[in-house]
């Protein structure tokens, strides 16, 4: 159980892209060609095991077409890149009212620690990994290929 009584989960919104880039103050801070754009959000009680699971899942996710056109290849197999963007708004809860509540998201200091560790884990794979800037106001530009968009989450396991 999470610290607020519910099950907290690391969340990732994954898009297969032809290209993606992140700009801060008009300056490009991270970009990839073909690959995966991954928006990630963290819960306060996310564990190292959850981060490892998500990194492994992303690097082996078979969402790129093989010779027959079937989604059967990973980002590693197609020589693609990964762009990781921290996005606490993945925890926006709009069940009540019209203003999102973010009480399920990890507090900023904890989320930054989790994000930095997640980036480190992803960089252990033979795939170029680019990032946005944690906590910055970012502009994200992408060309979704397919379109292919997946929602992945993993509960913290005690």
Cα separation of 3 and 22, whole Å? 32
| Catalytic site includes residue 47 | no
Least Cα distance to 93 among 102, 82, 105 occurs for: 102
Which two tokens mark 90? 């993945």
Q: Hey, CA dihedral for 21, 57, 104, 149, is it positive or negative?
A: positive
Q: Which residue in 39, 42, 64, 88 is the catalytic one?
A: 88
Could you give the 3-state DSSP secondary structure of residue 38? strand
Residue 26: partners with Cβ closer than 8 Å, 6 or more residues away: none
| Catalytic site includes residue 87 | yes
| Catalytic site includes residue 42 | no
Q: Which residue in 77, 89, 124, 149 is the catalytic one?
A: 89
Q: Which residue in 39, 42, 64, 87 is the catalytic one?
A: 87
Cα separation of 11 and 15, whole Å? 13
Catalytic (active-site) positions: 87-89
């Amino acid at each position: 159980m999470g610290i607020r009584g519910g099950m907290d989960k690391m969340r990732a919104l994954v898009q297969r892209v032809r290209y993606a880039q992140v700009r801060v103050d008009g300056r490009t801070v991270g970009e990839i060609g073909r690959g995966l754009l991954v928006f990630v959000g963290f819960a306060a009680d996310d564990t190292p095991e959850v981060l490892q699971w998500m990194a492994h899942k992303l690097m082996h996710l078979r969402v790129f077409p093989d010779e027959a056109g079937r989604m059967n290849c990973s980002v590693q197999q197609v020589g693609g890149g990964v762009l990781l963007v921290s996005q606490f708004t993945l925890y926006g809860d709009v069940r009540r009212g019209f203003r999102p509540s973010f009480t399920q998201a990890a507090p900023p200091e904890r989320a930054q620690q989790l994000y930095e560790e997640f980036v480190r884990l992803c960089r252990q794979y033979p795939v170029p990994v680019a990032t946005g800037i944690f906590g910055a106001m970012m502009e994200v530009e992408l060309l979704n290929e397919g379109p292919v968009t997946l929602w992945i989450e993993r509960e913290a396991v005690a």
